[in-house]
Amino acid sequence: MPLFGLKFGKKKLKEEERHLQANNRDFNLEFEYANNSIKTSKYNFFTFLPLNLFEQFQRIANAYFLFLLILQLIPQVSSLSWFTTVVPLVLVLTVSGVKDAIDDFNRHKSDNHVNNRPVQVLINGRLKDDKWMNIQVGDIIKLENNNFVTADLLLLSSSEPHSLTYIETAELDGETNLKVKQALTVTAELGLDLQKLSDFNGEVKCEAPNNKLDKFTGTLTLHGEKFALDNEKMLLRGCTIRNTEWCFGLVIYAGPDTKLMQNCGKTTFKRTSIDRLMNVLVLVIFAFLALMCFILAIGNGIWEYDTGYYFQVYLPWADGVSSAPYSGFLMFWSYVIILNTVVPISLYVSVEIIRLGNSFYIDWDRKMYYPLNDTPAQARTTTLNEELGQIKYIFSDKTGTLTQNIMAFNKCSINGKSYGEVYDLAGQRTEITEHTEKVDFSYNQLADPKFVFYDHSLVEAVKLDDAATHRFFRLLSLCHTVMPEEKKEGNLVYQAQSPDEGALVTAARNFGFVFRARTPETITVVEMGETKVYELLAILDFNNVRKRMSVIVRSPEGDLTLYCKGADTIVYELLDSSCGPLKDETMEHLNEFAGEGLRTLVLAYKNLPEDYFEEWHQRHHEASTALDGREEKLSELYEEIEKDLMLLGATAIEDKLQDGVPQTIETLAKAHIKIWVLTGDKQETAVNIGYSCNMLHDDMKDVFIIEGNTSEAVLDELRSARKKMKPDSFLDSDEINIKFENPSTKSRILPEEQANGVYGLVINGHSLAYALEGNMELELVRTACMCKVVICCRVTPLQKAQVVELVKKYKKAVTLAIGDGANDVSMIKTAHIGVGISGQEGMQAVLSSDFSFAQFRYLQRLLLVHGRWSYIRMCKFLRYFFYKNFAFTLVHFWYGFFSGFSAQTVYDQWFITLYNLVYTSLPVLGMSLFDQDVDDRWSMQFPHLYEPGQQNLYFNKIEFVKCVLHGTYSSLILFFIPYGAMYDTVRSDGKAIADYQSFALMAQTCLLIVVSVQIGLDTAYWTAVNQFFIWGSLSVYFAIIFTMYSDGMYLIFTASFPFIDPG
């Protein structure tokens, strides 16, 4: 490990291309590639103290108190004891340091756990047990079923036929379904033969490390022959091996170079906007303090020159003071110490206590507890609570965050007849409830017991051997990429690449067409109890452009058939002209299904002539092995064969949302919070969810789709959308256009722009990549921020973070990101507030988050109740705190004019010490921990109450000026009323009352009563605790005063009474 965690020496050059050789560590070490060790912690044993103190002293107030402490150690200027500063300063630094140490210790534990995971590495023909952190680029390692993938590997061979390997990518893209990877044929032959694997010396040349999860380009050179490598042959770190006994892989990228780590955003220290404002205000107060001290120092110089110089017999100058100007100079620093209470260090201690208390409220909230998996809400940080009350933009993942990731086959249309509704005896449609009779699938031994359907007529059609219905379900059982898992006879579990595929195959299973097994060449289906093996001749893959998937199979009877399913708009273009009437009937059903927010697909088929298929299949093989233009050639072939299809019908699937999601989104929208969905899912899925969640709706003026494949096309689409929403935004007189035409303008913050209606925006990942480039980002943020809802599809984890960063850069708004998978970590770390949902996809998102809970619906309570209360309480606290301290401190300022500017304190030292520590600390803490303007029920019922926080109305620079003026006014009254009342007054026996002690006692008593009344006026919600703190603080004050000024105390501690001359 480098000394103190720092690396010295020459800077590593940027990697352009990676070149490595299998089983040759000496060759690979020349390139100084990173090993497989990761580090997410900030400190080590040696650097913790200096780095942590450096970070803490970046807080201006901490540095200021250190400076005060140094001043108090100088006898000539010290007017207060040194311990009045050192004790609270050490306390604050210790509390913050311990908290940071615990956080970093947990990060170290996590790093050590990962780095020390065991793995089998092939060395000198033998498998050796080693740790993850010792793995090097070029090593060959063995992985077994349910193992985590150690690094980014090139798959060499596996236990499965054709060297297929099944992986789960939940930690990468949030999807829990299985995906299939396949090794090159030339490496698949290595099998489990350790000698062959040890002799393997292939050379790989590939792209430099990057964050693109779905892309890999490289070549493998073996025995002088080159083979193309792509993402289908890669196993990425973060994946888990499933349903595969063993596999071998060659390490391409390790540790920080892996795509998972490249997608992890840097850990940044998050501060709230109030924190940043407090830093600015502290600077302003310092300037104000310096001005007051300067005025008093000038006053002292003049007074000593005009008056004090001639009275040195009675008022001798201090040792070393030889002139009035020098006396004024020393008095400047003395007054810095006396007046420092305008920014007492207790402010920061109190702020941390308030935040901690409000964090406990979140942890203890039973209404945010999810009993099904025993998960309470958790505040994982205590520094961001009040910012929860200021959120303007929410960036949400979709899968597992808005949805349960559970799909249900709901309805279908077969040969012009709609199924799925329930009718009564009179033929009237009835609503489905929990009492509605379900279809009994007990006749089917392989049926899924969890599957629920209510329309009995569909089962009857299947049992009556209706040809169209059988073909419909046969298509669903064949046209998919689902993997079956049968651990016990008859106990089938499907692993689907998308939940809707799983739902469709499960529906076919229950209606008698059971998908049982698959190999790369065959699909086994049990049709109405009879096992049939179909020969799988070709898979025509789904992609965003095609929006459909097809398979070509040969039945046991020898029939060649193409089965196709896809988006209605696409498949309808491919149908045979003879399908006219059926198209119209099916379209009616599709519109009905879509109106209910269901996800729809159209099914079609085509019988193929043998001779034509043989010729097409030969061309397909040539295209699939081409190195150049492979995708374009395949696309043309697909287009050619997917023509003149016969329509079968349509499916309608309900994507099960989490409970309360639509209501939550509706409530948050009423609070003027804008919601952006950033998902790796395809566009149709995301848009359908948008409608299901009440984000998108038919009342919107328009929903813009941005899907250009060039930067020019994307720019045109964005501009045309903005022109429709706000035509005036293209005028030269537009405020933003003027601002950005002037390059000298430093502020990049865009003002809010109002559209002429309600709009939505949907943008694809490839289009987003262009939109995030250089000059186009401004166009994107202007257009997107005018829309009420934005949905970004097919985005990478890093793009999620870039979108969040874009809004932070151009909008003066607080952002919140919420997600449940490792693919959301970058976004969670980038946003002002990160929320993790502890769901089905591991704990990566939760571990990186600031707050966590189990269900999306708890977000409205977190923001509208806890966030709003925290913000109001913090603002009230700061307003009162600055008021009471200005009122307290400025009395000294006025007193300076009546005490020869001698840095004499008005109050006794005990009062100065205990004012912030005892007398006024608990009442303001009571208000800041318990105050509510309205209860939680009203906060949720009236989301508009959230708006003042978004606009930061309760504490800002103007509110601060009001506090200062209020405090200044109070200090004038608190000084001059007691002064006037005691001026030239005498007791009944003729003795003067106007002594220093009596005046000080009266001034400090008036001050304490006034600030106590003020806290009472500021409190909106009285509890027994508030009453106890206020009356208790006053009682403690009077008890201490009566004790201190009693004759007994004077006789015991005569020297401690500064008011009375013991001589």
Q: How far is CA 335 from CA 78, 332, 643, in A?
A: 9, 5, 90
Phi, psi (degrees; rounded to nearest 5) at 217: -130, 130
**CA–CA distance, 861 with 835 (Å, rounded to integer):** 13
Phi, psi (degrees; rounded to nearest 5) at 496: -110, 145
CB 393 within 8 A of CB 813: yes
> What are the residues facing 379 on neighbouring strands?
851
**What secondary structure letter does DSSP report for 380?**
-
**CA–CA distance, 169 with 180 (Å, rounded to integer):** 11
- In angstroms, how far is CA 748 from the centroid of its own chain? 23
HEC sequence for 96-153: HHHHHHHHHHHHHHHHHHHHCCEEEEEECCEEEEEEHHHCCCCCEEEEECCCECCCEE
Q: How far is CA 738 from CA 716, 729, 750, 873, in A?
A: 21, 11, 12, 40
Would you state the structure tokens that stand for residue 483, as one six-digit string? 């993997």
CB 414 within 8 A of CB 472: yes
Across 610-640, b (16+ Cβ under 10 Å) vs e yields eeebeebbeebeebeeeeeeeeebbbebbee
760: region left, alpha or beta (phi > 0 left; psi from -120 to 50 alpha): beta
Task: With H, G, I as helix, E, B as strand and everything else as coil, classify residue 519.
Answer: coil
Would you state the structure tokens that stand for residue 698, as one six-digit string? 């038919």
Catalytic residue among 152, 397, 655, 850: 397
**CA–CA distance, 295 with 317 (Å, rounded to integer):** 20
Q: Which of 413, 405, 431, 393 is nearest to 689 (CA)?
A: 405
Which value, in Å, is the radius of gyration of the alpha carbons in the chain?
37
Q: Measured between alpha carbons, how far apart are the two ends of the chain, in Å?
A: 69
Q: How far is CA 393 from CA 673, 805, 807, 831, in A?
A: 6, 12, 8, 10
| Beta strand ranges found along 519-592 (DSSP E) | 522-527, 530-540, 548-554, 560-566
Amino acid, single-letter form, for residue 410: N
* Matching residue, tokens 């995030």: 772
Would you state the structure tokens that stand for residue 922, as one six-digit string? 């608990």
**What secondary structure letter does DSSP report for 163?**
G
Task: With H, G, I as helix, E, B as strand and everything else as coil, classify residue 452.
Answer: coil
> What are the residues facing 17 on neighbouring strands?
207
Q: Which of 547, 398, 491, 484 is nearest to 178 (CA)?
A: 484
| Beta strand ranges found along 174-287 (DSSP E) | 178-182, 203-207, 218-222, 225-229, 234-235, 240-242, 246-253
**CA–CA distance, 961 with 972 (Å, rounded to integer):** 17
Task: With H, G, I as helix, E, B as strand and everything else as coil, classify residue 242.
Answer: strand
Phi, psi (degrees; rounded to nearest 5) at 566: 180, -170
Q: CA 888, 891, 892 angle in degrees (round to 5)?
A: 100
Reply yes or no on whether 397 is catalytic: yes
Residues in the chain: 1063
Task: With H, G, I as helix, E, B as strand and everything else as coil, classify residue 18.
Answer: strand
Burial, 82: exposed, middle or buried (Cβ in 10 Å; 0-12, 13-18, 19+)? middle
Would you state the structure tokens that stand for residue 453, as one six-digit string? 């359907």
Q: Which of 388, 389, 391, 395 is nearest to 789 (CA)?
A: 395
- The catalytic residues are 397
